[in-house]
Amino acid sequence: MKKILFVLFMSILLGGCKITPIYNVDNAQVPSGLTKAEVEKGVVLALSKKGWMIKQKSEGKILANIYVRSHTATIEVKFDEQYYSIDYIDSSNLNYDSKKGKIHKNYNNWIHNIHRLINVSLIEETYKKQQS
């Protein structure tokens, strides 16, 4: 009976730590008519809404970190007037496996949220620009 309970407990425990392929955003389209500065503004707004901290900004690139409990992740967002991309840079305590290109599912959830919020921010920027 103890062995069955142990196996059941371990399967539940390991099931909660699902490891999935890393989700990167490659060349997501920016709504037409925005400047590079407006795209940057939308990216920064989206990152800050989800608790990402800007570590470094340069021409067309933003390096950002997030700290959630004992987990950390670093991403790079590259952008211009037409496209943006979000790429994994580094992490800790997220079970990153470089050989398999896999990471804890929470990381992917964070990136999906950022991707969605960047899109919303860019649409809002486009709307504001059209109204002025």
| CA-to-CA dists, residue 39 to 2, 18, 56, 61, 104, angstroms | 57, 33, 16, 11, 29
Q: What pLDDT does 129 receive?
A: 84
Over its length of 132 residues, how does the chain's per-residue pLDDT go in tens digits? 666 545 444 444 445 568 899 999 999 999 999 999 999 999 999 999 999 999 999 999 999 999 999 999 999 999 999 999 999 999 999 999 999 999 999 999 999 999 999 999 999 999 988 887
| Rounded CA separation 89/80 (Å) | 20
| Rounded CA separation 132/127 (Å) | 9
| HSE of 1, CA atoms in CB hemisphere, 13 A | 0
CATH second-level architecture of 19-131?
A: 2-Layer Sandwich (3.30)
| Rounded CA separation 84/118 (Å) | 9
Q: What pLDDT does 14 receive?
A: 47
| Rounded CA separation 83/64 (Å) | 18
Q: What pLDDT does 130 receive?
A: 87
